[in-house]
Copies of this chain bind each other. A is one copy, B any other.
Amino acid sequence: MKISELGEDRLIAQLTASLGRSKDVVLGPGDDCAVIRMTKGEPYLLLKTDSVVEDVHFLRSQSPAKVGWKALCRAISDIGAMGGHPRFALISLASPPEIEMAYWTQFYRGLRRAARRFDVQIVGGETTRTRGPIVITVSLTGTVDKKHLVKRDGGKPGDAIFVTGRLGGSLGGRHLTFTPRVKEGIWLARHFRPTAMMDLSDGLAKDLPRLAARSGPGFAIDPTKVPRNRGCSIEQAIGDGEDYELLFTLSAKESAALERQWRKAFPRLRLTRIGTLQRKSRKGTPLAGGFDHFRID
């Protein structure tokens, strides 16, 4: 079977199924980051790797500084989605030899801007040549206190489903300039401890079923409540992807308090309750992306 028929989730699930796990591995494949218990009583390590590929995640004609921003901020977003602090990054570049030095200088300018903004140290880089498209891989190490770690698997039936910001239309440019929700993720983990959380990289249509599948329950959302960027249809808001907003669940009884305190803490960033986790049902049912299939229960 070709991997194009299999899809990423099943490919990764099959490849990583038989990996053992020692007791210092708190969380292996399947969440936003791996989680490691390095030293007893100290914060956990969060480990993340993420690649962006020319013609898939960006075009050669687009600003290399923005590509650098995006490459690092995607990984930063994953650390933030577990309630963690991004700390140390390594950058691996596979580059065609004919690219001008100026391209990579500009790229690093964007990288450094993201690193400064989110307090990340770029501690290493390596380059290799390729005859093919540019591939940029970021490896990011973060930290999170044990009591603030938020995984994908704690959602319970009845929990409210929230998203930050507005969704859809990322291809208009926001996919290169988005702001990863690190301080919001840390704030949520400290003050409300969501039952499950992840960042929206592939769109609500793909990511909400992933979150629900890890947690166990089904879900129901009201599509008309999904917060949309200007000019976007509901379908775009649900299916476009690359929003890098937070998707999380919280017990219904805490929801009103969250909404009040959120408005004080982040007056300029919308928070929307879009639905509810439902009783356990049809766990693992695969959902096609898109709007029609977007309800199980």
Contacts and interface: CB of A to CB of B under 8 A. Distances in A.
A138 to B, nearest CB: 9
Interface in A4-51: 4, 6, 8, 11-12, 14-16, 18-22, 24-25, 27-29, 33-34, 36, 38-39, 42, 45, 47-51
A182 interface: no
A248 B15 CA distance: 37
A92 interface: yes
A95 B51 contact: no
Interface string A131-142: 111010101010
Contacts of A22: 121
A14 B127 CA distance: 12
A1 interface: yes
Given A15-B125, A94-B53, A100-B2, A42 B45 contact: no
Most chain B CB neighbours (cut-off 10 Å) among A94, A98, A124, A143 = A124
A3 B95 contact: yes
Given A20-B121, A38-B38, 16 more contacts: A3-B99, A3-B100, A6-B101, A8-B126, A8-B127, A11-B101, A15-B125, A24-B121, A25-B121, A29-B125, A34-B88, A38-B39, A38-B45, A47-B90, A130-B132, A139-B139
